[in-house]
Chain A
């Protein structure tokens, strides 16, 4: 089957989308049962569930493509020991740190509620503008997944931006905490807009996304009485599998059972 664009780029790109949503879902799920307000505990868990659902769609599609290729025997696939063929679980549970392609932003520790919210706001805003392009992509399956996710993402933006505003324009302490959050995350946002090799082929206009993203962040920050960060240094590498030290621990925890009991079904 002919893929457009070619699957040498398509597969890693889909894995990049899958990994980023899964790892952020993982981080959000760490809050479950520990949130500051019961209603907000539920809301953040909801987002974790949505992101998990998105990641499963991406993994399933990637697995499909990998299995097609495996039949052609011309491509090295991610390790799938214990799985006869690639599946959402083999891709999530049996790849190593260097194979994961998620953004560094999403693997950072949660920090306080403010930092968690800001990270979510940054990522959801990026997702919205990215998915708006992807839903018209020549690859129909990718377009369909993106189109389906947009509604969720819009809700995530609304929820997280409202919290950014509430906390930025709340008390002195909350404003200070948000200012610290902006500082803590500032070097990790531009990775979203810097294309990896496999991304170039996807013909996504990252410049446009960056513009739209910056515009939205500016508007929300204004209402939140927060200032945009100055002197940003771009930390990158996630898309190529060069991560922070945090990812290894996430995977050790997440993959523990699949690694400890190879070939078991759950």
Chain B
């Protein structure tokens, strides 16, 4: 192909791409797309997939200690759902030309990130409630937006995931509701969990819009459709109402209705803590990554055996056919 043709073809592709973005037509795997668009999607979808999988760990921590058989069943099913979300998302990312092995490699070497929220410890049973309500709740706002993201496979994975996430949120809230009506110790446990998970949940939406490096381009490409600050505000407004049902409080003395804005004002996030956890210095960064590494390394012989066996079987079929 002549250079000239290539440029022309590319610019045609680019035009089509932009047209699709403008007219809200999904970009599909076989479509031409700018390299940076592909890269951004790979980064975001794989990071999202890793978050689902690493997110199994803090809640998995309480499966064997769940306080009733019903709660145990709900929690097991929830953590299993998150594994399923990880699968959908790895598959969506694979349509962009990266393999699951490569993505896992990036996670284990620290090249790829996952949501920092999972670097906080789950200390009491009430944390299962707080995670469902706040963490899944924050994730939902982000994911509802992503149901309309411009990359087709990502948007479709999100539609499936969102349905399950709203279950998770309700179940989490219900855990807290029962605790909030329980013994004094249970009430204290409930408030303590809300206190510990509130600020990290607000951090889930990422840096302020003014500081966010990836946001502008992602908005233009309609990968993101709302800014970090917009989503964070939506979350605060929602939780302020819901916490009243629990008869609990959110740990922010600056929380106040602002008539003019039609939103709640809220206090300043500890951005120093935010940066520290992102950098790897959160309370559980090392434990979480080590757990994933251990699972991967301990599983190496299993994966090798499965491959070897599949190969033997395929050879047998060939021989029998011959």
Contacts and interface: CB of A to CB of B under 8 A. Distances in A.
Interface of A: 22, 26, 29-30, 32-42, 45-46, 48-49, 52-53, 55-56, 59, 88-89, 92-93, 112-114, 165-167, 169-171, 173-174, 177, 250, 253-254, 256-258, 261, 263-266
Main secondary structure of the interface of A (DSSP, over half): helix
Interface of B: 53, 56-57, 60, 63-73, 76-77, 79-80, 83-84, 86-87, 90, 125, 175, 178-179, 182-183, 185-186, 291, 294-295, 298-306, 308-309, 312
A177 B301 CA distance: 10
A33 B73 contact: no
Contacts of A42: 80, 83-84, 87
B84 A257 contact: no
Contacts of B305: 166-167, 170-171, 173-174
B146 to A, nearest CB: 21
Given A32-B79, A49-B76, A261-B185, A170 B64 contact: no
A88 B69 contact: yes
Nearest to A250: B64
Most buried by B among A42, A165, A177, A253: A42
A33 B79 contact: yes
A263 B184 CA distance: 12
B60 A32 contact: yes
Given A33-B60, A174-B301, A265-B182, A166 B306 contact: yes
Given A26-B64, A166-B309, A32 B302 contact: no
Given A52-B73, A171-B305, A266-B125, A32 B65 contact: no
A29 B65 CA distance: 11
Contacts of B70: 56
A170 B303 CA distance: 10
Contacts of B63: 29, 32
B301 A52 contact: no
B182 A264 contact: yes
Most buried by A among B67, B79, B183, B305: B305
A22 to B, nearest CB: 8
B171 to A, nearest CB: 13
B60 A266 contact: no
Contacts of A257: 65-67, 125
A36 B186 contact: no
Contact of A52 (B76, B175, B186): B76
A170 B76 contact: no
19 contacts: A22-B69, A32-B76, A33-B83, A35-B295, A36-B299, A36-B300, A36-B302, A37-B306, A38-B53, A49-B76, A52-B72, A52-B76, A55-B69, A93-B67, A113-B299, A169-B309, A170-B304, A257-B67, A257-B125
A166 B295 CA distance: 19
Contact of A34 (B80, B178, B294): B294
B312 to A, nearest CB: 7
A34 B290 CA distance: 11
A256 B83 CA distance: 27
A263 B186 CA distance: 11
A266 B71 contact: yes
A259 B261 CA distance: 49
A114 B306 CA distance: 12
B98 to A, nearest CB: 16
B80 A254 contact: no
